[in-house]
Homo-oligomer: A and B are copies of this chain.
Amino acid sequence: MRYLADFEPGQLFTAGPVEVTQEEVIAFASRYDPQPFHTDPVAAEDSFFKGLASSGWMTAALTMRLFAESGLAVAGGLIGRDVELHWPRPTYPGDMLRAETEVLEVIPSRSRPDRGMIRVRTTTLNQRDEVAQTMLCRMLVPARPSQG
């Protein structure tokens, strides 16, 4: 497991691919983003997306899964404080997504010597190497316990 001192800017972590299936796109959106362009392949043809598209929140959720599989292995778990998401293009059934995470910054806490934060950028790419999502995230990371 990694503690704050084990991270440095430039470290890279990758995972994937995972396939986006029509079944999962429709199931996810039916519960969390019930709009015809995410749930109805026929109605979606006449939408902004010109076909059934994944909810951006499903793209984000799949990215979280890839992120969890990508070997950051933060001690205590991956705990996000805040994120910025950008979806430059839609994700469609059949797309194969992979995630590339780069550590941008390591930020010790001024008030709490037992923890800090890292800032990472996770880029979600499809099978054409197009960017489906970018995520900037600040995560809590514990300092290595002192040997006491």
Contact = CB atoms under 8 A, between A and B. Distances in A.
Q: Which of A28, A60, A62, A76 gathers most chain B CB within 10 Å?
A: A60
A77 B140 contact: no
Contact of A68 (B34, B61, B64, B77): B34
A5 to B, nearest CB: 19
Contacts of A85: 82-85
Copies per complex of this chain = 2
Given A57-B64, A64-B55, A86-B82, A77 B37 contact: yes
Interface in A59-83: 60-62, 64-65, 68, 76-83
Interface string A14-36: 00000000000000100111111
Contact of A76 (B32, B47, B68): B47
Interface residues of A, number: 32
Given A83-B85, A84-B83, A86-B82, A77 B48 contact: yes
A133 to B, nearest CB: 10
Task: State the main secondary structure of chain A at its contact with B.
Answer: mixed
B77 A34 contact: no
A39 to B, nearest CB: 11
Contacts of A76: 47-48
A28 to B, nearest CB: 8
7 nearest A-B pairs in the assembled complex, by CB-CB distance = A32-B61, A82-B86, A57-B61, A35-B77, A84-B84, A83-B85, A33-B64
